[in-house]
């Protein structure tokens, strides 16, 4: 029996014990649906038995910000001032947001963006105590999945897949909620929250199952392990792990599945290059081990194929490196003349080919550069950075070039205070910039000119985190081959969404971003973009994210997901924007 997803809440509303009464108004005509639908009774009992199967870990969601509001789902309630103050004080703190199921790092994905006004429950991220966002405002669940299972083991995932298969209730998968494209939320979906799968172990002689005789120095992590924790664990066993530039990204879920860049990637490769085994429940309900010796087609797809399209990861194993000292360069200045930023970016363009060849990776965000290299001595690092040091010094900025004993020491000292913001409603578009825009005079001048044009809209966020020096095995990963010849992964941020934007304003902001990122697409025909950080409305996303790998990926998708049970926005085998799963995505 298959019922329409709109029956999800309706059926649950009939279940007095199952549903939080505040949700009763989430579907305006819920009562009507609940009483008129004969399917609701069987859905209700299917939900009850699912809850029993997962040991009572089926939960109903509440909006993260709900304690601040006196109207929740249309009903008058007592606001909880103490809880609200805590939320306001930590609204942009990732370690706080990540503990709440109803919170997403980019809060626009908590809301139903396709609604004419705002169907959600946001505070004003630029001033979380702004009473205009709260007083008299109806706090709604919006795009947050109304129900979720706190996944404890692969069996929970199997139960949810069987439930979805027989009821038609759609699934979504969330880990730490960093997704820039809304792939981990979804109105009316049942969500699988893998955040609590936190195992960590190390083996200097890890053998992928079925690969007797082959060993790797590797760390195995549960899907829900924080990037911060995997860095600390690796350091504690005298190893370096190659991971992302933020404390609370889930290392072993969406990050490596989408490719996963690090500022150590220029030397050590993408996360997709370094994974050696994945344990995953594929959408056909089977708990599988994928590595170079078994389920090799699936393993290929999991190395950059992305999102939850190929199943729900329970744990994964990744190669590590010995502990090594690292050279760090941290340069900042305050632009004074209007041409300072353009001159600075132009200097960045001119030096990045040399820097890439010397193993430097890092971020350039407006007038700030933070780079590291494991390949140079401190003296060599100073000489290499001299042109940038001269520029920053001439602009009265600050310069630090120093050796740190480990990547963790660097991360702790420099990254936790510089990592990308969460809480504001940020939206990105990206492009992989090929090496010829750094190695040739013509390319450099074209790229610098386009960046100069873009500056009136936004300062590009540059990640020097492509696998430039890494010796990849041809054909082993699913990411677009454009990664291998790129030196920058460049992103442009849209004007921030506001808590009270209208639909027309959201459309305008998405379109404004697309126009700017389109200029970088036009400059770099045949290149691609990073799946996890791409434009929500990436045109020809199959080619942009996977290039020639797409046909093979689609075949793997069809093999392991014959019923089409898992789908996500612009993922492999995507059902398209008109699918009910995307009812809250704006249609441009
Ligand atoms: C502040 C910030 C900094 C970032 N920095 C970097 C960076 O340095 N390098 C980089 O490469 N990326 C970076 N990203 C992008 C990041 O890697 C992706 O957004 C990543 O998917 C986030 O993982 P998550 O668990 O936090 O997100 P979620 O939103 O929970 O999930 C992201 C995607 O993965 C899927 N997913 C989650 N868990 C599982 C699972 N167990 N099995 C299968 N699918 C799953 C979700 O369905 C969704 O499609 C950054 C993002 C943010 C917001
Ligand atoms: C699932 O069962 C547990 C334990 O019986 C109960 O506390 C919980 O509320 C149920 N979940 C839902 C969504 O009703
Ligand atoms: C879904 O249902 C089909 C047919 O009813 C069955 O063959 C398949 O195994 C089911 N899949 C899951 C994950 O339960
Ligand atoms: C890590 O290295 C230090 C210094 O060489 C040593 O004292 C320590 O025992 C090592 N720890 C592990 C877990 O190998
Ligand atoms: C740097 O500081 C000096 C001394 O205070 C000042 O004369 C000069 O104008 C400053 N330069 C810039 C670019 O701000
Ligand atoms: C940069 O853009 C400005 C206008 O925003 C223009 O005046 C200037 O000539 C441009 N500089 C270069 C080097 O293209
Ligand atoms: C890639 O391979 C070449 C040739 O074997 C080697 O010299 C180089 O050091 C390797 N690069 C990296 C980053 O390991
Ligand atoms: C949103 O709220 C701000 C004040 O916080 C106000 O200035 C602005 O006009 C509002 N926008 C809309 C579309 O209501």
What is the pTM (predicted TM-score) of this model? 0.94
Atom nearest to 453 CA in ligand 6: 2
What is the position in ligand 3's atom list of the atom closest to the CA of 563?
1
Task: State whether the beta carbon of 476 lies less than 6 angstroms from ligand 7.
Answer: no
* Residue 522: predicted pLDDT: 98
CA of 111 from ligand 8 middle (Å) equals: 17
- Does the pLDDT of residue 26 top 60, yes or no? no
Give tens-digit pLDDT for 432-464. Answer: 999 999 999 999 999 999 999 999 999 999 999
Judged by DSSP in three states, 230 sits in: helix
Position 302 pLDDT exceeds 90: yes
136 lines ligand 2 (CB under 6 A): no
How many CB atoms within 10 Å of residue 79?
A: 16
Please tell me the predicted confidence (pLDDT) of residue 9.
55
Q: Which atom of ligand 7 is nearest to the CA of 268?
A: 13
* Helical axes 39-53 vs 7-14, angle rounded to 10°: 80
> What pLDDT score was predicted for residue 164?
98
Contact call for residues 414 and 327 (beta carbons, < 8 A): no
Which pLDDT score, from 0 to 100, does residue 12 have? Answer: 53
Distance CA 497, CA 297 (A): 40
As a whole number, mean pLDDT of residues 1-30 equals 41
Is 40:33 a contact under the CB 8 Å cutoff?
yes
Pocket test for ligand 3, best of 158, 159, 162, 312 (most atoms within 8 A of CB): 162
Which pLDDT score, from 0 to 100, does residue 19 have? 39
Tell which atom from ligand 3 comes closest to the C-alpha of 162.
14
Q: What is the C-alpha to C-alpha distance for residues 357 and 392, in angstroms, rounded to an integer?
A: 22
How many residues are listed for the chain in this entry? Answer: 588
Residue 567 is predicted with a pLDDT of 98
> Per-residue confidence at 23, pLDDT binned at 50, 70, 90?
very low
The closest-lying atom of ligand 8 relative to the alpha carbon of residue 498 is: 1
Q: Is the pLDDT of residue 38 over 90?
A: no
Q: What domains appear along the chain, each with residue ranges and CATH number?
A: 6-193 (no CATH), 200-323 (3.30.465.10), 326-547 (3.40.462.20)
Question: Which residue has the least CA distance to atom 9 on ligand 6?
Answer: 452
Ligand number nearest to the C-alpha of 267: 7
pLDDT in tens, 147-186: 999 999 999 999 999 999 999 999 999 999 999 999 999 9
Tokens representing 409 are: 């020491």
Q: Best mutation site among 269, 466, 471 for ligand 7, i.e. most ligand atoms within 8 A of its Cβ?
A: 471
- The two tokens of residue 72 are 């929740």
460-493 per-residue burial string, b: 16 or more CB within 10 A, e: under 16: bbbbbbbbbbbebeeeebbbbbbbbbbbbbbbbb
- Could you identify the atom of ligand 2 that is nearest to the CA of residue 19? 14
- Tell me the average pLDDT of the chain: 93
pLDDT band per the 50, 70, 90 thresholds, residue 22: very low
Q: Which ligand is nearest to the CA of 239?
A: 4
Question: Is the CB of residue 336 below 6 angstroms from any atom belonging to ligand 5?
Answer: yes
Q: What percent of the chain has pLDDT over 90?
A: 92
Please tell me the distance from the alpha carbon of residue 283 to that of residue 305, in angstroms, as a whole number: 15
Q: What pLDDT, on a 0 to 100 scale, did the predictor assign at position 41?
A: 82
Q: Over 80: is that where the pLDDT of 30 sits?
A: no
Ligand 3 center from residue 523 Cα (angstroms) = 46
pLDDT > 70 in the chain, percent = 94
CA–CA separation, 356 vs 373, rounded Å? 9
Q: Which of 120, 425, 500, 504 to mutate to test the pocket of ligand 8 (most atoms within 8 A of CB)?
A: 500
**How far, in Å, from the CA of 335 to the mean position of ligand 5?**
11
How confident is residue 21, by pLDDT bands cut at 50, 70 and 90? very low
Nearest Cα residue to atom 10 of ligand 7 = 471
The whole-number average pLDDT for the span 403-416 is: 97
Of all protein residues, the one whose alpha carbon is nearest to atom 7 of ligand 5 is 396
514-553 pLDDT tens trace: 999 999 999 999 999 999 999 999 999 999 999 999 999 9
Ligand 3 centroid vs 561 CA: distance in angstroms? 10
Give the integer Cα–Cα distance in Å for 367 and 55: 52
- Does position 11 have pLDDT exceeding 70, yes or no? no
Name which residue leads in pLDDT, 91 or 4: 91
Tell me if 396 CB under 6 Å of ligand 5.
yes
CA separation for the pair 250, 345 (Å, rounded): 31
């Amino acid at each position: 029996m298959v019922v329409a997803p709109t029956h999800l809440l309706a059926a649950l509303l009939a279940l007095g014990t199952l549903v939080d009464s505040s949700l009763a108004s989430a579907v305006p005509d819920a009562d009507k649906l609940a009483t008129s639908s004969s399917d609701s009774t069987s859905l209700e009992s299917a939900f009850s038995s699912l809850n029993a199967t997962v040991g009572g870990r089926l939960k109903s969601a509440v909006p993260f910000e709900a304690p601040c509001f006196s109207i929740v789902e249309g009903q008058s309630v007592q606001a909880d001032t103490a809880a609200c103050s805590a939320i306001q004080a930590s609204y942009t703190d990732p370690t706080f947001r990540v503990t709440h199921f109803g919170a997403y790092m980019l809060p626009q994905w908590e809301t139903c963006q396709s609604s004419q006004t705002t169907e959600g429950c946001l505070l004003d991220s630029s001033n979380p105590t702004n009473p205009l966002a709260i007083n008299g405002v109806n706090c709604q669940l919006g795009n947050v999945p109304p129900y979720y299972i706190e996944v404890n083991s692969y069996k929970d995932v199997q139960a949810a897949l069987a439930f979805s298969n027989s009821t038609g209730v759609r699934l979504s998968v969330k880990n730490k909620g960093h997704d820039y494209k809304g792939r981990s939320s979804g109105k009316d979906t049942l969500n699988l929250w893998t955040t609590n799968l936190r195992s960590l172990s190390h083996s200097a002689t890890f053998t992928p199952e079925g690969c007797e005789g082959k060993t790797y120095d590797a760390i195995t992590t549960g899907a829900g392990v924080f990037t911060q924790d995997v860095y600390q664990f690796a350091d504690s066993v005298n190893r370096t792990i190659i991971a992302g530039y933020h404390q609370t990204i889930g290392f072993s879920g969406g990050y490596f599945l989408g490719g996963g860049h690090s500022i150590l990637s220029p030397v050590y490769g993408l996360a997709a290059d370094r994974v050696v085994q994945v344990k995953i429940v594929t959408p056909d309900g089977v708990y599988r081990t994928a590595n170079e010796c078994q389920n090799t087609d699936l393993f290929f797809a999991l190395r950059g194929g992305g999102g939850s399209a190929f199943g729900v990861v329970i744990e994964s194993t990744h190669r590590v490196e010995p502990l090594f000292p690292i050279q760090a360069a941290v340069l900042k200045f305050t632009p004074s003349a209007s041409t300072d930023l353009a001159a600075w970016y132009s200097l960045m363009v001119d030096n990045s080919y040399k820097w890439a060849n010397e193993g430097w990776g890092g971020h350039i965000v407006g007038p700030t550069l933070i780079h590291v290299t494991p390949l140079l001595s401190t003296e060599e690092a100073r000489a290499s950075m001299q042109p940038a040091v001269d520029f920053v010094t001439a602009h009265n900025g600050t310069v630090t070039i120093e050796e740190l004993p480990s990547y963790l020491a660097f991360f702790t000292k420099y990254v936790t205070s510089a990592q990308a913001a969460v809480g504001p409603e940020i939206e990105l578009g990206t492009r992989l910039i090929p090496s010829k825009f750094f190695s040739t005079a013509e390319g450099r001048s074209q790229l610098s000119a386009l960046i100069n044009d873009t500056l009136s809209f936004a300062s590009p966020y540059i990640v020097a985190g492509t696998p430039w020096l890494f010796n990849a095995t041809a054909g082993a990963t699913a990411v677009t081959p454009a990664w291998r010849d790129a030196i920058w992964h460049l992103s442009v941020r849209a004007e921030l969404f506001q808590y009270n934007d209208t639909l027309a304003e959201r459309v305008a902001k998405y379109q404004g971003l697309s126009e700017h990122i389109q200029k970088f697409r036009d400059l770099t025909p045949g290149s691609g973009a990073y799946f996890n950080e791409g434009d929500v409305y990436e045109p020809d996303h199959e080619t942009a994210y996977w290039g020639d790998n797409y046909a093979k990926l689609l075949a793997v998708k069809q093999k392991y997901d014959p019923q089409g049970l898992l789908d996500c926005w612009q993922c492999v085998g995507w059902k398209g924007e008109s699918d009910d799963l995307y009812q809250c995505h704006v249609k441009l």
